[in-house]
């Protein structure tokens, strides 16, 4: 079972960070003709930043780096390329967070080959060990306080990873899960929210409850052993 510091990010924090980004970009005088949202984490921030700038031109580009919650799946790579004619246009690439910085660098370098007029990058969060520093970021995270940010659009994906890791050790009642989420990840959840989360994961066939104890389904245990 991994012990990874994590934080449940709220929608209010997302709204604040994106509004700060909007202000910074506007104040800097940069006027993007197109905003590129990096799939998947950058989609919601990019959409909110588009609104901040009153622009409709939102484009998607997919990069892949981190697989299962908080574990990298090899080198960052582009999944597909930009198809739009961006030559001479000012572009802004938006992502949720720069951690290694590899994804944003990759997207930046790819976009540069399309000869844009200007190219700038923005993230809500920037961990200061990142090899790539965005032109705009709303909040800096000290590398010594590295945290896995559970964004609202990744809530079930991340929580199902953490919860199933706990249950892969041994079937547990809800209060034990709550206590291990707090101990291993610093995540504090109300009873109601944890209960609703477990019910959803049960409906999706990821966990099940027998006699008051939750467990991962057998196939999940098998995968772990392999
Ligand atoms: P990276 O290439 O390491 O800068 O990060 C690529 C993507 O992985 C980010 O855009 C996020 O979607 C996700 N990611 C990386 N580190 C974190 C983190 N500490 N918390 C939440 N998501 C992360």
Q: What pairing do the DSSP bridges indicate for beta strands 136-141 and 118-127? A: parallel
pLDDT of 206 higher than 90: yes
Domain for residue 104, yes or no? yes
pLDDT at 80: 87
Q: What is the number of structural domains in the chain?
A: 2
Q: Of all atoms in ligand 1, which is nearest to the CA of residue 96? A: 10
Nearest in space to 180 (alpha carbons), one of 162, 195, 206: 162
Domain span including residue 196: 153-225
What confidence tier does 220 reach under pLDDT thresholds 50, 70, 90? low
102 lines ligand 1 (CB under 6 A): yes
Q: Return d(Cα 109, Cα 88) in angstroms, integer.
A: 16
What confidence tier does 223 reach under pLDDT thresholds 50, 70, 90? low
CATH number of the domain bearing residue 107: 3.40.50.2020
65 lines ligand 1 (CB under 6 A): yes
Q: What is the mean pLDDT of residues 7-14?
A: 98
pLDDT of 112 higher than 90: yes
Q: Enumerate residues 6+ apart whose C-beta is below 8 A from 44.
A: 14, 96, 151, 153
Q: What is the mean pLDDT of residues 26-50?
A: 97
158 lines ligand 1 (CB under 6 A): no
pLDDT at 219: 62
Q: Of all atoms in ligand 1, which is nearest to the CA of residue 147? A: 19
pLDDT at 67: 77
CATH number of the domain bearing residue 164: 1.10.10.10
Model confidence over 171-197: pLDDT tens digits? 999 999 999 999 999 999 998 999 999
7 lines ligand 1 (CB under 6 A): no
Domain for residue 1, yes or no? no
Same-domain pairing of 143 and 160: no
Model confidence over 59-86: pLDDT tens digits? 999 998 877 887 877 788 898 899 999 9
Nearest residue (CA) to ligand 1, atom 21: 149
Our mutation pick for probing the ligand 1 site, out of 5, 73, 96, counting the most ligand atoms within 8 A of Cβ, is 96
Nearest residue (CA) to ligand 1, atom 15: 99
Domain for residue 85, yes or no? yes
Which long-range CB contacts under 8 A does 97-100 form with residues at least 24 apart? 97/41, 97/123, 97/124, 97/125, 97/126, 97/127, 97/149, 98/123, 98/125, 98/126, 98/127, 98/130, 98/132, 98/133, 98/134, 98/137, 99/66, 99/127, 99/130, 100/65, 100/72, 100/76, 100/130, 100/131
Q: Return d(Cα 59, Cα 83) in angstroms, integer.
A: 9
Same-domain pairing of 80 and 134: yes
Nearest residue (CA) to ligand 1, atom 5: 99
pLDDT at 69: 81
- Separation of 99 CA from ligand 1 center, angstroms? 5
Same-domain pairing of 158 and 212: yes
pLDDT of 221 higher than 60: no
Domain for residue 188, yes or no? yes
Domain for residue 208, yes or no? yes
pLDDT at 217: 83
Domain for residue 132, yes or no? yes
What's the mean per-residue pLDDT of the chain? 94
Phi and psi at 217, nearest 5°, equal -65, 155
Q: What is the mean pLDDT of residues 123-146?
A: 97
pLDDT of 118 higher than 80: yes
CB 112 within 8 A of CB 126: no
Q: Which of 126, 148, 170 represents a domain boundary (last residue)?
A: 148
Same-domain pairing of 38 and 98: yes
Dihedral over Cα of 23, 25, 27, 29: its sign: negative
Nearest in space to 51 (alpha carbons), one of 32, 38, 71: 32
What confidence tier does 218 reach under pLDDT thresholds 50, 70, 90? low
Domain for residue 126, yes or no? yes
pLDDT at 6: 98
103 lines ligand 1 (CB under 6 A): yes
On the CB side of 50, CA atoms within 13 Å amount to 19
């Amino acid at each position: 079972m991994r012990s990874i510091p994590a934080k449940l990010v709220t929608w209010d924090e997302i709204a604040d960070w994106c509004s700060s980004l909007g202000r910074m970009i506007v104040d800097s005088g940069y006027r993007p003709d197109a905003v590129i949202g990096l799939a998947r984490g950058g989609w919601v921030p990019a959409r909110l930043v588009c609104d901040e700038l009153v622009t409709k031109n939102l484009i998607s580009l997919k990069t892949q780096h981190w697989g299962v919650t908080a574990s990298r799946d090899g080198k960052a790579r582009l999944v597909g390329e930009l198809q739009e004619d961006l030559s001479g246009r000012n572009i802004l690439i938006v992502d949720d967070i720069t951690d290694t910085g590899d994804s944003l660098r990759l997207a930046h370098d790819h976009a540069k080959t399309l000869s844009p007029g200007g190219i700038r990058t923005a993230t809500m969060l920037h961990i200061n060990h990142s090899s790539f520093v965005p032109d705009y970021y709303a909040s800096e995270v000290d590398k010594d306080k590295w945290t896995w940010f559970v964004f609202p659009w990744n809530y079930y994906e991340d929580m199902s990873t953490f919860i199933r890791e706990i249950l892969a050790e041994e079937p547990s009642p809800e209060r034990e899960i709550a206590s291990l989420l707090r101990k291993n990840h610093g995540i504090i959840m109300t009873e109601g929210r944890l209960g609703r989360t477990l019910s959803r994961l049960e409906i999706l066939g990821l966990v099940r409850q027998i006699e008051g104890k939750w467990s991962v389904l057998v196939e999940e245990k098998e995968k772990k052993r392999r």
